[in-house]
Structure 1
Amino acid sequence: MARGTMSEDVQAQIKRLILRRKLVPGDPLPTEAELVELLDVSRNSVREALKALQAMRIVEIRHGFGTYVGSLTLDPFVEGVAFRAAVRHHQGEASLYELMEVREALEAGLVGAVARSLPAEDLTVLRDLVDRMEKEAAAGRVESGTDRAFHLALYRSLGNHLLSEVLDAFWDALRRVRKDLDDSSQDPEVTWRQHAEIVTALETGDGDRAVEAMHRHFDGIRERLKGVV
Structure 2
Amino acid sequence: MNQVEVKRIVAELLPYIRYHRLDAGDRLPSERDLCTKFNASRNSVREALTALEIMRVVERRPNSGIYLQALGKDTSVDAMVMFSDAGVPLLEGEVSDFLETRRILEIESFRLACQRHTDADIERLVDVIETCERNLEAGITLAEQDAVFHLALVEAAHNQVYLRLVNSFYLTSRARRKVFFKTMEQSFRSHQDHVKLLAALRKRDFDAGEKILQQHLASVGKFWSERLQNDPNEKII
Match of 1:159 in 2: 158
- Counterpart contact for 1:83–1:177, Cα < 8 Å: no
Which residue of 62, 79, 82 maps to 1:79? 82
Unaligned segments of structure 1, at least 5 residues: 1-43, 59-72
Secondary structure of 1:140 counterpart: coil
Where in structure 2 are there 5+ consecutive unaligned residues? 1-40, 56-75, 229-237
Contact 1:96 1:174 in 2 (8 A): no
Cross-structure match for 2:167: 168
The one-letter amino acid paired with 2:217 is F
Residues 109-154 of structure 1, C-alpha deviation per residue, up to 9 Å, x if partnerless? 2202211221011111101211221222233343333122212211
Q: 1:169 to 1:201 in 2, by over 3 A?
A: same
Q: Secondary structure at the match of 2:161?
A: helix
| Secondary structure at the counterpart of residue 144 of structure 2 | helix
- State how far apart, in whole Å, the 1-side matches of 2:86 and 2:227 are: 16
Measured after TM superposition, the shift of residue 87 of structure 1 is: 4.2
- Report % sequence identity: 18
Rg comparison, structure with higher value: 1
CA–CA separation in structure 1 for the residues paired with 2:214 and 2:88: 22
- Residues 133 and 54 (structure 1 numbering): CA distance in 2 closer, same or farther, change over 3 Å? same
The change in CA–CA distance for 1:54 and 1:83 in structure 2 (over 3 A counts) is closer
User: Could you say if the C-alpha distance between residues 77 and 98 of structure 1 is closer, same or farther in structure 2, counting changes exceeding 3 Å?
Assistant: closer
Count of matched residue positions in the alignment of Structure 1 and Structure 2? 166
Alignment partner of 1:52 is 2:49 = yes
Q: Quickly say closer, same or farther: Cα 1:80–1:200, change in 2 above 3 A.
A: same
Deviations 1:170-199 (A, max 9, x none): 1222333465xx555441210110111110
For normalisation by structure 2, the TM-score amounts to 0.58
CA–CA distance in structure 1, aligned partners of residues 53 and 165 of structure 2: 16
Structure 1 consecutive aligned stretches of length 4 or more whose deviation exceeds 6 Å? 44-48, 81-85
Matched, 1:99 2:101: no
182-191 vs 199-208, greater mean Cα deviation: 182-191
Q: Distance in 1 between matches of 2:112 and 2:189?
A: 25
Distance 1:94 1:172 in 2: 19
1:71-95 CA deviation, whole Å, 9 max, x = no partner?
xx9653313368798242xxxx343
Residues 94, 54 of structure 1: alpha-carbon distance in 2 compared, 3 angstrom cutoff: closer
Question: Which whole-Å CA distance do the structure 1 matches of 2:211 and 2:223 have between them?
Answer: 19
**Following superposition of structure 1 onto structure 2, how do residues 19-38 of structure 1 map, counting pairs within 5 Å?**
none
Cα distance in 2 for partners of 1:174, 1:227 equals 18
Structure 2 CA distance for aligned equivalents of residues 157 and 204 of structure 1:
14
CA distance in 1, matches of 2:116, 2:218: 26
Task: Look up the match of 1:200.
Answer: 199
Cα deviation for residue 215 of structure 1 reads 1.1
Q: How far, CA to CA, are the matches of 1:224 and 1:124 in structure 2?
A: 31
- TM-score, structure 1 as length reference: 0.60
Indicate the RMSD between aligned Cα atoms, in angstroms: 3.3
Say if 1:175 and 1:56 are closer, same or farther in 2 by CA, change over 3 A: farther
